[in-house]
Every structure is written in C-alpha cells, then in structure tokens.
Amino acid sequence: MAIATAFSLKLQILFIIFCCRSYFSTAFTSQDYADALEISILFFEGQRSGKLPLNQRQTWRGDSGLSDGSAYHVNLVGGYYDAGDNVKFGLPMAFTTTLLAWSVIEFGSSMQNQITNAEAAIRWSTDYLLKAATATPDTLYVQVGDPNMDHRCWERPEDMDTPRNVYKVTAQNPGSDVAAETAAALAAASIVFKESDPSYSTELLHAATKVFDFADRHRGSYSDSLSSAVCPFYCSYSGYQVRLSSVLGFLKSIIDLNLSLSIQDELLWGASWLHKASLNGTYLAYIQSNGHTMGSDDDDYSFSWDDKRPGTKILLSKEFLDKTTEEFQIYKSHSDNYICSLMPGSSSFQAQYTPGGLFYKATESNLQYVTSTTFLLLTYAKYLGSNGGVAKCGGSTVTAESLIAQAKKQVDYILGDNPAKMSYMVGFGNKYPQHVHHRGSSVPSIHAHPNRISCNDGFQYLYSSSPNPNVLVGAIVGGPDNRDHFADDRNNYQQSEPATYINAPFVGALAFFSAKN
C-alpha cells in the first residue's frame, strides 16, 4: 500500500494547490490547463469497477463488482460505472473509450507526463470491452446491472447488492449501435497502443474487426432488443432506422432493397475508425458505398454517445484535407456546415449559447455536449491548420484560429470564467460543486465507515445538505442551465451528476491548451 499512500499524498498536495490558487481571472495559464488535464484523467479512477490496482489514486474507492458475469459463466469484471450509479452500460462506456483514444491520437503529444495515465484510463476500459466482445461467438455483452433496481438504491459500489444481471446482443437479438461503437472504441485504442504495446494493439484491432462484422451482419437497435434494460437510460434514439436519405437513395432502393435502410451512424463511425486503424481497403469501400446516407438534412448538430454523425464527418474530412481525395470532399462540406452552425456571426449559425457564452443543447447533462463540441472544434482546427484550410460558411470563411478561440471560451467557462465564478470541474479552483450526484462520493467510504450501508440507509446521504465526504477529483458535472444558473444540489441530477463521457473529450481539449503559451 506504500504506492497508494504516495499517490494519495501527491493528490492532497495538488488539491491544496488548486484550492489556494485564484483561477477566476479571464486568463488561464498553460500550467492551469495542465493541472486540469491531470485531474480530468484522475476522475476515471473514481469510476472504476473491479479489483483496484496498488497505484489507485482515488483512495477512498475500494474493490467492487468482483463477481460480475460469474452467474452467467463469463468474466465481466472491470470497466467503468458510467456516472453516479453502479451500472456498467456498454454504449456510453464504449463511446467514452473512443473519445479518450481520439484525445490521445490527436493531442497525446501535448500530454507530457500524463500520457501514461491517459493510456491507463483507456486500457481499464478496453480490457473489459475485450472480454465482453470475445467471450462468446456472435455475442457482445453490453451491460452489467439491473438499472431499474440500481436506481432504487443509494449505495456505494463496494456494498451494492442489487441484481448484477448481464445483458447481451446476439444474432437473434441484435444491437448494431452498441456493437459498432464497441468496434470503434477497440479500433481507436489499437492506434493508441500501436507503438507502446504492439501485441495488445493487434489484439484490439482483431477484436474490433470481428465486432464490426457482427454489427453489420445482424442489423438492429439494441434498444429494441433489450428495451427497459437500456431505456430510458441509454436508448439509441439516433440508431438503426428505416429512412430514405435522398431521391437517389430511393431510386437505388428499388433495385437493391438493402439500400432502403439507412446505415446507422455507429456503423459508419465504426467503419471510419477501422479504416483509420487498419488501412484496409474494405472499410474504405464500405464508407464509399454507404456514406451517402449520412446527409446533413436531418442532422441536429449534436455529437454525443448517441449521435456520431458530426464526429464521423470530421474524422473522414481529414482524408480529403490530407490527400484531396475527391470522394471525401462531401465530408469536408458537411464538417464545414457543422462547424459554421456553431460560430456566432456565421450565415449558418444555429447554436444556442447562454448569456455567459456557454454552448447550450439540453437541460440534462448539458456539459457533455459542450466538451464533445469543443473537442471537435479543436480537432477540425488541427486538420484545417495543417493544410492551410478554412471552413466555408456561405460566402465567408472561418479560420482555424477562430475555432480555437471559440473552443477556449468553452473550456474557460467550465474551469471558472463564467457568471457564477464557479469551476464545474470538482477539485479545480476555490469554488466548485460540493453536492455531486454520485453514490460513491456522497456516502462515507469503506475506510471511514467499514460496516455495510444498505440500499435504503444510503438515502440519508442523498438527501443530506452536507458536502460529499469523498471528493471525486476531476469530475465534470452536468452544468448550469440556459441562464447560467447552477443548483449545487445532489438531488438535481440534471446539473450535478458527472459522467465518463463528459470528461473523455475534455481530456483532449485540456491537452491542447496545456501546450499553448
């Protein structure tokens, strides 16, 4: 335990430094961003399920879920709890992994001494996803824990006694959305580990190809197959639908009925990552054959665990920008449309911002859209900047520098440059949320209270007015409303609950600004 003690001491020192600094001037330094980067990755250690390692730094956590899957004769120990509950949801976990990997791929060179921690955060998830994807042929295990029962309890993961049901998608009960996202996660992670651990990278890529093939051969939404087990928690609203994308698509569908089904956003997303990871022409052909279904006419300009269209377009636009490959020009155009919709003053501006300047998309967990959008702004700025390109917004253009400036406003708002003068990252600055909607953080730790705290007994901590006893350092909460108002209230989960997919893209954004002077 000496290693854990040393990490704990370092964490306490960092915590004191953060609290004593005044971060609420409008100018953050590169060191400020580097500090935020460190704890944004540290957050994932608070979400770990399974047997914790000796170098665990969120030391108030303990082992949990050590028998996950055993009743079903499969090993599903490990992975992440998605947010403030104790369920392991496969779709958001895979998306989190893809975005963590993409953060490292694009901005890992700026992470300096945090690259090892970032890779560890990715591996904690991919180790689990590999087991979930390879345990049984033509099967993907996509969830552990009964969410309806879990949400009736308020208990720390170390004590949980709610059913650890295992849910899967199969050929008979398909889930193209969650399977293709899992393929994307494994493929993206294979790029991350290609140099540092080639054998692991190969294993990840091999599994990704198998899972993608399964997703494509057995079409359907996992929401339909698993219903109340995943809905309303993580329904795939943008998933597999019967949709005609264009007159051309309709005419083709008369000849080939297969084309009457729109290719799900996750399938193209997964194929795009497999193309990038493998350079296999099969995936390029797949994209070329099916990419026409990913038009912009029905795009609501939202990049999230549910909707991958903006991210896919920007990822594919790099092909055009790098090689001027004409068949990828459409993705550059679609990416421009998306980016221009975010930029105030653009002729195609559609986004909503709060009076304080925060991108606003939804009443619940809005910061997930802020961090994912910010990451895409910076990634597209990188792609444009390396090729001297600009985003075309009607008759005007937007430069890479303008995208970076817009992204910086969002990052700084989250870190404390906002009307409330509050950091929405726990443990950063001298004012941040104290009543985080998170079971493990709000209930006394097993070290402070070794005796079990039952399902119902835990609710006293949910309803308590006291600050959380365990600081979930690095967590980004759901965030303020459309008027910049924030209720630091544990019962207001819409604003006070953290989630892995909020933090994941912010890792890349913070890495970018930590390298700027």
Catalytic positions, please? Answer: 437, 488, 497
d(CA 393, CA 380): 14
| Lookup: tokens for 242 | 């019967």
Closest of 1, 81, 74 to residue 44, by C-alpha: 81
Helix (H) or strand (E) holding 141: strand 139-144
- Please, are residues 296 and 334 in contact by the beta-carbon 8 Å criterion? yes
d(CA 62, CA 143): 21
- Please, are residues 307 and 265 in contact by the beta-carbon 8 Å criterion? yes
d(CA 95, CA 273): 12
- Please, are residues 435 and 488 in contact by the beta-carbon 8 Å criterion? yes
DSSP state of 242: B
- Please, are residues 256 and 212 in contact by the beta-carbon 8 Å criterion? no
Three-class secondary structure of residue 145 per DSSP? coil
> Can you point out the beta strands (E) in 285-368?
352-353, 359-360
Closest of 83, 85, 16, 10 to residue 44, by C-alpha: 83
